[in-house]
Structure 1
Amino acid sequence: MSAGETHSTRVADLVERMSLDEKLAQLVGYWVDQGDEIVAPMAGEMASGTSYEDATVHGIGHLTRVYGTRPVDPVERAAWLWGEQRRLRAQTRLGIPALVHEECLTGLAAWKAATFPTPLAWGAAFDPELVEETGRLIGESMRQLGIHQGLAPVLDVIRDPRWGRVDECISEDPYVVGTIGTAYVRGLQDAGVHATLKHFVGYSASQGGRNHAPVQAGSREIQDVLLPPFEMAVRDGGVRSVMNSYSAIDGVPVAASPEYLTRVLREDWGFDGVVVSDYFSVAFLHTMHRVAADLGEAAVLALGAGIDVELPSADAFAGPLAEAVRTGRVDVGLVDAAVRRVLTQKEELGLLDETFDAPPTQIDLDTPAHRDAARRLAEESVVLLTNSGVLPLDVARTHRVAVIGPNADAAAALMGCYSFANHVLAHHPGVPYGFEIPAVLDALRDELPDASLTFERGVDVEGDDASGIEAAVASARNADVAIVVVGDRAGLFGRGTVGEGNDVDDLELPGLQRRLVEAVVATGTPVVTVVISGRPYALGWAVDEVSAPAALVQAFFPGEEGGSAIAGILSGRVTPSGRLPVSLPRSVGAQPYSYLHTLLAGPTEITSADPTPPLAFGHGLTYTSFERTGLSADAEVVAGGTFAASVRVRNTGTRTATDVVQLYAHDTYASVNRPVAQLMGYARVTLAPGEEVAVRFDVPTSRLAFTGQDGRRIVEPGDIELWVGPSCADRETETSLRIGGPVHALRAEDDRLVAVGVSAVVAG
């Protein structure tokens, strides 16, 4: 048992009574509905082939994606599940029910369930409170259906936009990832569903932005950038489950790494929940990483490293692990420790006492409350990148609107890779979504009822068919304004342009979409380009070149209310407040890039290559103007202490709007290279025209901690530059402070990361 772990007498008694087969049954899942539809990587190759009846004769740990593998009616499926849980209670010797897990990254991934904005949109909203509310609503739906664990949030820090899973991530800034991801954890767990952090750790730092590729990150990057969001969610969020990364870091697969799964996660951070394997990752130790000669050796490595449960099914933790225990290759004590954690989790969730008497007979998975939260999150997440004055549209004078582009009439374009629609229903053509999701074109018709709208697709998202461009150009010439809607189509493993397994070596808009935009711009008609995507694209040509449209709008898969949110921002009904949670890339050749780069990683006089993004992290326009003045801070603070910084923010425009106030810092000289800019804190502030407030940030100096040359995370004394501006690149108001005293080593028991939460107070 790891330090800090406690288990009840009931759990201890159950483990004492269990046979080896009963123990191992609790450490595996079973994918009841897995068939011809492949909704996970290499699922067809790795299925164990064991019948459900045989797999559950001794009980079962998890039931895998009961609702999320194919379109099943929620009421009918709940009735089946309740009956199956009763069978497990009555017909297995110990009567332990199964834990049910589902995907829930953009809402519960089940038929008819609400689909929220993708996590990259959460980052663009910079609104942890709203994300927490969203998580709670998702959790309430899951709990109603008898689901106990959600495989979300993704806390991978974006390192390379070529990676297909960027739309599942929150930001390139670890503090934004940590604060917003932890908020989602709290919301989901407040509803009685255990959240699962993924993918621990390093998954997003793969070579070349390729899925499952090796990770060669140094220990400092791992400790200072990749680990902090997970630590925050463990320490501050109290998360109950963690999922391993598929990656190998410096040649060691995380699924076989006691360094990360035991020493860091359990011993350093005190995590006492359950570690579940990413799907098939235990078997991958044998089949892909080739560090295990067979499935038995893979099971020994994974269990010894700290994985408690093999998902989605029992490839290694059943027969092969049983053989390893019986032949002495693995200590049964490791099995017992994992079983205790699993049973403790089931006890925490109330499963050991649940009777499953009355399944729900009426279920609404897309209530007005769901749609309201989805709408607000979508509206807050849309980023106005550029605007020459064409937006908001002059509705009274805009009579002819040409709507153009492959994403204008496509509801699927509004949803991310892990939405049920794109993840599962893509294998079931003709099955309706089961909820309303108006495309941008439909939303614009509602938004602009007095205007005459024409539609031309122009080109497809992918492909080289240019035959529709001529008609699109003709439509634009006859319009007062042209709205060109382009971007991605989410999917998996080659189906789509972004999503799991859809990695790219080019950051241009897919297909002929750039050619379409430039052809429409050349007509001279004012053009608003809306990019709906799961990754940031190299849009420098659309920002400051001759071919640039009059306005550029970025929406990261905004979900079921995304069409309405976009239409509302274009009309002016909604004032944009989204900010870029990831830098807009200059080019594919400038990758990987992060705003957290050091001096020598940016533009210098000793290289001709300039990675500077066209638009920086934190950038976003609105329909008013804000003035940020008078930044002040404590003159000196002791290392390990907390300093206060205050700035005045005034709405100098004519519309009520929300500013995302961003406080940045730079450690001018340190014992190791430090970023030229680092976000210290942020706050959403809504102001009426002429209104002014003071925003005060109380910032622990541990926000400036880094891994020193001896491997310890420390706060060093020295001079710190502080500034507030509309992005990391703009120093609108500046000040400085000095950190004094001796070097402060962060200690797990007081200020390691549990103390890094920045508080923001707004006063008139």
Structure 2
Amino acid sequence: MTDAEKIAQLGSTWPDHDDGGDVAPMQETFRGADRFEEAIVDGLGQLTRVFGTAPIDPEAGRRRLTALQEQVVAANRFGIPAVAHEECLTGFFTWQATVYPTPLAWAATFNPELVGRMAQAIGSDMAAVGVHQGLAPVLDVVRDYRWGRVEETLGEDPYLVSELGLAYVQGLQSSGVVATLKHFAGYSASRAARNHAPAVLGPRELADVILVPFEKAVVAGRVRSVMNAYNDIDGVPCGADEVLLTGLLRDTWGFEGTVVSDYWAVAFLASMHHVADDVTGAARAALRAGIDVELPHTSGYGEALLDDGVPTDLLDRAVLRVLTQKAELGLLDPDWKPGQYTAPADFDSPRNRGIARDLAEQSVVLLDNPSGALPLASPRSVAVIGPAADDARCLFGCYSFPNHVLPHHPETPLGVEAPTVLDAIRQEFPDASVHHETGCSFTGDDRSGIEAAVAAASAADLTILVVGDRSGMFGEGTSGEGCDVGALTLPGGQEDLVDAVLDAANQTVLVLVSGRPYAIGRHARAADATLQAFFPGEEGSAAIAGVLSGRINPSGHLPVQVPGDTAGQPGTYLAPPLALKSDGVSNIDPTPAFPFGHGLSYTTFTIEDVEADAETIAVDGSVTVRATFTNTGPRAGTSVPQLYLTDPVASVTRPVRQLIGFTRIELAAGDSRTVEFQVHADLTSFTGQDLRRCVEPGRLVLTVAQSAGEPGRSVEVELRGDTRVVDHTRTMTTAVTILPS
């Protein structure tokens, strides 16, 4: 191959970019080639979002991709096709495809198996029409709930993110579609939760919190692609960080796939980070660091790079990785043809909707039910109030087709059946008289509707108050990419609406449908019951209504804390002692209203007979912790046992509690099951003062609980031996066994 042909394999083009709307700041500055025919001269690395740019039905999309690939193959003398990639965070990112719950909702299920089934279904739909790579999952561990992209994450605990992220990777790749980890790394630790801001990270937090899910997906999941993060860490942009993208990712962890740039991240090295004079210098820095493919358009990895010259070893290194992946995908096989893919008749199939329904139903979290107001008996008159009550788009995340693309095509219908919460409540309670008032909007100062909402609430036997977010992009929503906030108060006029309605209503159920947790402590104390749903997808309204009626027994548990009354200074549960409440030291109380892992049911569970099979183990040994869970309530339900580690004395400060194991158990009323957690000493490892990961001898406390905030039942174990250094080959998962009853 000539140098021009090699460089062409590292680039990309977005054929219908003008229809795609805003997907990154300053994107028009870095458009790349205007004409598709110019972009594919000598070949092409990737095709960007052929399905996910504008509304197009499945068959038309398949034909469009086939035609583009035929042009790509004809334009280069080797007949090499492009890799076609799409977003797939809440489903195949195309019109008329199932909109699954957002990742924060997956995390609330604590169910890796179900997440894996969803990813396999997404991948099979994509593969059937010739899409080869999906830009998911997001493995950023939440560090500040004010960040707009919290909704895209799997929560604030690295172990939970790791287990669910691994399940997604394995599910998607089992369908023959390349999974792409993002954003590598530190994106969620941006200063003051501002998108693209520098990441405030020390090496220990980076290693023990941020990198853990990526490490697991690479080592255990054999993920085939990684996307760099936009941010810098301690002054070094991730897109130009050779230590991160080559030294750690490849040389240490053994990653063998391709590294793709986040959209326009190569050009950003010059325009935003100012670590290069121009886009050519940015391209050289990115290639040297280890970025193999520039997305979504070729701006740096093009003619300018060719004219400037590029070291042959760096060019050949990247091209070999790209061609190897194309070979693995079968794109270099002699019998591969652009038209060999056949679109399924339905991207929103009964299979897909069934998985979306299971996820939605398992993700709804019952936060509080102090007087047993839920499940509802047979309400006669119901006031359904709030801006999230009668808007289907409030069910979807930012990276869903309806919220990402359709705002630019207002004449186009939603493309999927997605009843609103109001619709679902009317369906669930057909004999009730239901009255709806919006009350206020998600944004702006208009509170003129609050008076009518108060009147409706005071006249009804029951008020269901549905508030939260409407997701969007770059300030067009209250949650989503570029929709960061300064404080965790409900957006728009919703704080005033909630206060007024709670004061007037006879009985109120507060329902949060949101992309992040909000500081609702005082509202929850005033409500008769409180539910949290994190953008539950197209089946979400029926799930919420089912929980309200009792048709569904809630089993969701929080993957993030719900803050109390301190809206401006959020923390996460994964914190050392000085980060928690400190009477006499600070007047600010960071104690959450509802802790990580919290979730109630319409039945009750007890934890008994907690024991360890050894009191001492070697620093390379393991211990089995057993606990018996009993359903002591009146109906069947699902318990979510959680195992937490406490390291009372260590050479560096450690989290007061840290999740190291979990499972789900379905229990009939009165039934008991015993759970075994097999904990290897590697699960206690951390980054020591010398910045090496180590297992340190000493006393440990292992607590079986139903949230991070409850006492649970504990056992103590002593680790004995010399401090042991471990690496990426360590045991990273606690094996869980549910013994026969």
Scaled to the shorter chain, the TM-score interval is: over 0.9
Counterpart of 2:594, as a letter, is L
Aligned mate of 2:4, from 21, 39, 42:
21
1:440 aligns with 2:417: no
Counterpart in 1 of 2:365? Answer: 383
CA contact (8 A) 1:383 1:579 kept: yes
Where 2:72 maps in the other structure, the secondary structure is helix
1:668 equivalent in alignment to 2:648: yes
1:9 alignment counterpart: none
- 2:622 maps to 642
Q: CA deviation at 1:24?
A: 0.7
Aligned partner (choices 432, 449, 452) of residue 451 of structure 1: 432
C-alpha distance in 2 between matches for 1:220 and 1:652: 43
Residue 72 of structure 1 and its aligned partner are, at CA, apart by 1.4
Determine which of 581, 601, 604 is the counterpart of 1:603: 581
After TM superposition, give the deviation of residue 567 of structure 1 in Å: 0.4
Which residue of structure 2 aligns with residue 630 of structure 1?
A: 609
SS of 2:544 mapped into structure 1: helix
Distance 2:434 2:522 in 1: 27
Deviations 1:459-489, CA, capped at 9 Å, x for gaps: 1122221211121122122222110100000
Once the two structures are superposed, the pairs formed by residues 297-316 of structure 1 within 5 Å of their partners are: 297-316=281-300
**Is residue 204–residue 687 contact of structure 2 (8 Å, CA) maintained in 1?**
yes
Q: CA deviation at 1:358?
A: 4.2
Q: What secondary structure, in the 3-state scheme, does the structure 1 residue paired with 2:664 have?
A: strand
SS in 2 for 1:615: coil
Does residue 338 in structure 1 map to residue 322 in structure 2? no
When structure 1 is superposed on structure 2, of 185-194 and 38-47 the one drifting more is: 38-47
Query: CA separation in 2, counterparts of 1:723 and 1:359?
Result: 51
* Displacement of 1:402: 1.0
User: Aligned pair 1:557/2:535, yes or no?
Assistant: yes
Q: Counterparts of 1:251-650 in structure 2 under 5 Å?
A: 251-325=235-309, 330-353=310-333, 354-360=336-342, 362-396=344-378, 398-544=379-525, 548-587=526-565, 591-605=569-583, 606-633=585-612, 634-650=614-630
Deviation at 1:589, TM superposition (A): 5.8
C-alpha distance in structure 2 between counterparts of 1:421 and 1:597, whole Å: 37
Q: Deviations over 1:553-577 (max 9, x none)?
A: 0000000000000000000000000
Tell me how far 1:362 sits from its aligned partner: 5.0
Deviation at residue 760 of structure 1 after TM alignment: 3.4
Question: Could you tell which deviates more after superposition, 352-361 or 168-177?
Answer: 352-361
Alpha-carbon separation, structure 1, partners of 2:331 and 2:373: 54
Report how far residue 514 of structure 1 moved.
Answer: 2.0
Distance (Å, rounded) in 2 between the aligned partners of 1:158 and 1:223: 15
Would the aligned equivalents of 1:702 and 1:756 in 2 still touch at CA under 8 Å?
Answer: no
Amino acid at match of 2:448: S
Query: Contact between 1:374 and 1:560, CA under 8 Å: does it hold in 2?
Result: yes
Deviations 1:227-281 (A, max 9, x none): 0000011111111000000010000000000111001100110000000000000
SS at match of 2:170: helix
Aligned-pair distance for 1:701? 1.6
Partner residue of 1:38?
A: 21
Q: Do the aligned residues in 2 keep the contact of 1:505 with 1:588 (CA within 8 Å)? A: no
Which range moves more in the overlay, 243-252 or 448-457? Answer: 448-457
Instruction: Give the letter aligned to residue 6 of structure 2.
Output: K
Distance 1:583 1:762 in 2: 31
1:19–1:757 distance in 2 versus 1, CA, 3 Å? farther
1:756 aligned onto 2:737 = no
Match of 1:112 in 2: 96
Between 1:75-84 and 1:159-168, the stretch displaced more is 75-84
SS at match of 2:93: coil
Distance in 2 between residues matched to 1:742 and 1:33, nearest whole Å: 60
Q: 1:374 aligns to what SS in structure 2?
A: helix
Aligned-partner Cα distance in 1 for 2:228–2:670: 50
Distance 1:299 1:91, change over 3 A: closer
Alpha-carbon offset, residue 85 of structure 1:
1.8
Contact 1:699 1:759 in 2 (8 A): no
C-alpha change, 1:333 and 1:689, in structure 2 (3 Å) is same
What is the Cα deviation at residue 725 of structure 1?
Answer: 1.9
What is the aligned partner in structure 1 of residue 632 from structure 2? Answer: 652
SS in 2 for 1:738: strand
Unaligned runs of 5+ in 2: none
Match of 1:723 among 700, 703, 716: 703
3-state secondary structure, aligned to 2:555: coil
C-alpha separation between the residues in 2 aligned to 1:586 and 1:323? 58
| Structure 2 SS opposite 1:445 | helix
User: Who is 1:5 aligned against?
Assistant: none
1:632/1:590 CA distance change after superposition, 3 Å: farther
How far apart are the structure 2 equivalents of 1:470 and 1:489? 23
Shift of 1:636: 1.2
CA distance in structure 2 between the aligned counterparts of 1:357 and 1:421, rounded to whole angstroms: 28
Contact 2:489-2:567 at 8 Å conserved across structures: no
Contact 2:19/2:54 (<8 A) preserved: no
- Structure 1 residue 550: deviation in Å? 0.5
Mapped to 1, the partners of 2:632 and 2:690 lie a distance apart of: 49
d(CA) in 1 for partners of 2:369, 2:121? 35
Aligned positions, number: 736
User: 1:359, CA displacement in angstroms?
Assistant: 4.5
Q: Check whether the contact 2:677–2:734 (CA below 8 A) recurs between aligned residues.
A: no
After TM superposition, give the deviation of residue 530 of structure 1 in Å.
0.5
CA distance in 2, matches of 1:683, 1:36: 44
2:166 maps to 182
Aligned partner of 2:426: which letter?
A: R
**Cα displacement (A) at 1:689:** 0.6
Contact 1:590–1:611 under 8 Å retained in 2: no
Alpha-carbon distance, 1:732 to partner: 2.3
Letter in 2 for 1:422: N
Contact in 1 for aligned 2:555/2:600 (Cα 8 Å): yes
Query: Relative to structure 2, which stretch is displaced further, 590-599 or 503-512?
Result: 590-599
> Aligned AA for 1:197?
L
| Deviation of the 1:388 alpha carbon | 2.5
Amino acid in the other structure paired with 2:679:
V
Q: Distance in 1 between matches of 2:329 and 2:494?
A: 49
Distance 1:719 1:320 in 2: 60
Secondary structure, counterpart of 2:663 in structure 1: strand
Shift of 1:759: 2.8
RMSD of aligned Cα (Å)? 1.3
The two structures have a TM-score, normalised by structure 2, of: 0.98
**Equivalent-residue separation in structure 1 for 2:566 and 2:97 (angstroms):** 36
Deviation at 1:590, TM superposition (A): 5.8
Matched residue SS, 1:763 = coil
Could you tell me how far 1:205 is from its partner in structure 2?
Answer: 0.2
CA distance in 1, matches of 2:536, 2:698: 43
Q: For residues 394 and 757 of structure 1, what CA distance do their matches in structure 2 show?
A: 39
Q: Deviation of residue 433 (structure 1)?
A: 1.5
Q: Encode CA deviations 1:726-753: one digit per residue, 9 max, x unaligned.
A: 21121121211111111111034x41xx
Partners of 2:734 and 2:211 lie apart in 1 by 16
Q: Between 170-179 and 510-519, report the one with greater CA deviation.
A: 510-519
Tell whether the 8 Å contact from 1:390 to 1:526 is kept in structure 2 after alignment. Answer: no
Amino acid corresponding to residue 115 of structure 2 in structure 1:
V
Q: Measure, in 1, the Cα distance between the counterparts of 2:337 and 2:17.
A: 27
Moved more, 245-254 or 535-544: 535-544
After TM superposition, give the deviation of residue 671 of structure 1 in Å: 0.5
Measure, in 2, the Cα distance between the counterparts of 1:278 and 1:760: 39
Residue type of the alignment partner of 1:622: S
Whole-angstrom CA distance in 1 between matches of 2:649 and 2:413: 58
Distance 2:343 2:651 in 1: 63
Distance 1:67 1:275, change over 3 A: same
**Is residue 2:192 matched to residue 1:215?**
no
**Structure 1 residues 678 and 359, CA gap change in structure 2 (3 angstroms):** closer
Give the C-alpha shift of residue 49 in structure 1.
3.6
